């Protein structure tokens, strides 16, 4: 069949594929436990739901300006000032259908065919595909486990060519959970400014930090701010994945192009979800803090348990809600009759035999690892790790 070569080159999202396989198995009545999609198990806080109901009753059910309501753009600008010390005009804020959409808009706005974007690995599976969608070329630079999965300026220097246009930064990171320190960020900011690049700073996990603190790279001064597109949203912090609201803050000219692109691709994001997001951003921190504490407890348990099981190990992440489990010791071994040659092999046999869904990190540029999300209940975590232990023991570990 005649199809776009570009679209044919885009891979399906592994995270979403694993999640739908898990859900299909569950619907068939199979006793499966899932650690696939990074989606908080908590319900959206009540005060946010109430704001959405009020918005429906008040008739906020029509088109809004394509880049979002002025009320929400102002609320997001206030959020940046309050939480990140960054001053933006509402015209520099674009509200989109999830942070995913914000990212696609950003790449569309800054890339020309053949422009290179440095993607530090392990990376969230969608970055490389989004760059390709925008006719860019992803250049993967790998950060090792010994380096706490954090990229150094030396590694960035090596990847630099005259086609390099931008660097993606994601701190706290999906899938590694690592958080860059102030010094590390400052060094990257200096590199970006020195080479006149852009940085796409995906800060969607900023409130899910258990050690250290979040700093936006844009906050090191006007030079770096003028080269930064910040991506954020309410999916993770406010347990609002299904509402589909993300936002970007960018230099004025970039914001305008992003808004123009969006005005043709999708128009405004859902008007009711926008009203709910105004409430979310101006609400109390209590619910968020309760969720953060629960994630922290789960992380501690998960890290300790994984490191007590023979054959696997993990670093302790400082943020987000993922643990990368090192499975390199299992490679070359046969588990339940299957030779493990890749993270996909392990994830497949683990799902089929132990009925536990984890995400293979082949698609994240880290094939020695699988990702566990701990945005699930403590009971599920215990069950999943009991199954891991039993499965590996049964197979000689």
| Residues engaged in binding ligand PMP (CB under 6 A) | 38, 98-100, 124, 170, 174, 202, 204, 233, 235, 241, 246
Nearest Cα neighbor of 177 from 310, 41, 295, 308 is 295
Nearer to ligand PMP, 98 or 363 (CB): 98
Chain length of the chain = 397
Nearer to ligand PMP, 237 or 343 (CB): 237
- What does 99 interact with, of ligand GLU, ligand PMP, none (CB < 5 to 8 A by kind)? ligand PMP
The residue with tokens 């880049």 is 67
Minimum Å gap between C-beta 61 and ligand GLU is: 27
Among 13, 20, 260, 380, binds ligand GLU (CB under 6 A): 13
Whole-number Å distance between alpha carbons of 197 and 226? 10
Q: Where are the beta strands (DSSP E) in the chain?
A: 33-34, 93-96, 116-121, 137-142, 164-170, 198-202, 228-233, 246-249, 313-314, 322-326, 334-335, 338-339, 356-357, 359-360, 369-373
Nearer to ligand GLU, 125 or 141 (CB): 125
369-373: strand order across its sheet: 313-314, 322-326, 369-373, 359-360
Whole-number Å distance between alpha carbons of 273 and 85? 26
Among 37, 217, 275, 358, binds ligand GLU (CB under 6 A): 37
Q: How many CB atoms lie within 10 A of CB 213?
A: 11
Report yes or no: 212 and 184 within 8 Å, Cβ to Cβ: no
Minimum Å gap between C-beta 174 and ligand PMP is: 4
Minimum Å gap between C-beta 40 and ligand PMP is: 11
Residues 166-185 within binding reach of ligand GLU (CB under 6 A): 174
Minimum Å gap between C-beta 357 and ligand GLU is: 11
Residue nearest to ligand PMP (CB): 98
Nearer to ligand GLU, 92 or 102 (CB): 102
Position 15 contacts ligand GLU (CB under 6 A): yes
Position 45 contacts ligand GLU (CB under 6 A): no
Position 38 contacts ligand GLU (CB under 6 A): yes
Position 16 contacts ligand GLU (CB under 6 A): yes
Whole-number Å distance between alpha carbons of 63 and 267? 8
What is the DSSP code (8-state) at residue 48? H
- What does 16 interact with, of ligand PMP, ligand GLU, none (CB < 5 to 8 A by kind)? ligand GLU
Which distant-in-sequence residues (6+ apart) come within 8 Å of 289 by Cβ? Answer: none
Minimum Å gap between C-beta 123 and ligand GLU is: 11
Backbone φ and ψ of 110, nearest 5°: -110, -10
Residues engaged in binding ligand GLU (CB under 6 A): 13, 15-16, 37-39, 124, 126, 174
């Amino acid at each position: 069949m005649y199809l776009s070569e570009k679209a044919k080159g885009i891979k399906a999202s592994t995270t979403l594929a694993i999640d739908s396989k898990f859900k299909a198995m569950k619907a068939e009545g199979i006793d499966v436990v899932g650690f696939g999609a990074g989606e908080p198990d908590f319900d959206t806080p009540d005060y946010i739901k109430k704001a959405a109901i009020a918005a429906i009753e008040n008739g906020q059910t029509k088109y809004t300006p394509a880049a979002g309501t002025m009320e929400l753009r102002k609320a997001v600008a206030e959020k940046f000032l309050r939480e990140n010390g960054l001053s933006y005009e509402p015209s520099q804020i674009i509200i989109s259908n999830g942070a995913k959409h914000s990212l696609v808009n950003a790449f569309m706005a800054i890339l020309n065919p053949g422009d290179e974007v440095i993607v530090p690995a392990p990376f969230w599976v969608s970055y490389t595909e989004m760059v390709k969608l925008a006719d860019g070329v992803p250049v993967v630079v790998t950060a090792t486990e010994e380096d706490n999965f954090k990229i150094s300026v030396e590694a960035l220097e090596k990847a630099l060519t005259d086609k390099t246009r931008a660097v993606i930064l994601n701190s706290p990171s999906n899938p590694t959970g690592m958080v860059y320190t102030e010094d590390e960020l400052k060094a990257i900011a200096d590199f970006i400014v020195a080479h006149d690049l852009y940085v796409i700073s995906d800060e969607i996990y900023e409130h899910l930090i258990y050690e250290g603190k979040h700093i936006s790279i844009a906050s090191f001064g006007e030079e770096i701010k003028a080269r930064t597109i910040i991506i954020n949203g309410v999916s993770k912090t406010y347990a609002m994945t299904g509402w589909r609201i993300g936002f970007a803050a960018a230099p004025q000219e970039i914001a305008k192009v992003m808004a123009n692109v969006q005005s043709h691709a999708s128009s405004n994001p859902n008007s009711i979800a926008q009203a709910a997001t105004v409430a979310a951003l101006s609400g109390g921190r209590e619910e968020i803090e309760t969720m953060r504490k629960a994630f922290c407890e789960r992380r501690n348990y998960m890290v300790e348990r994984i490191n007590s099981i023979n054959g696997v190990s993990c670093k302790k992440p400082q943020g987000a809600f993922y643990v990368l489990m090192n499975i390199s010791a299992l490679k070359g071994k046969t588990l339940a009759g299957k030779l493990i040659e890749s993270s996909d092999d392990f994830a497949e046999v683990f799902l089929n035999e132990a009925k536990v869904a984890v995400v293979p990190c082949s698609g994240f540029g880290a094939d020695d690892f699988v990702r566990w999300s701990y945005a699930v209940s403590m009971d599920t975590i215990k069950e999943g790790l009991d199954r891991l232990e039993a499965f590996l023991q049964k197979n000689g570990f």
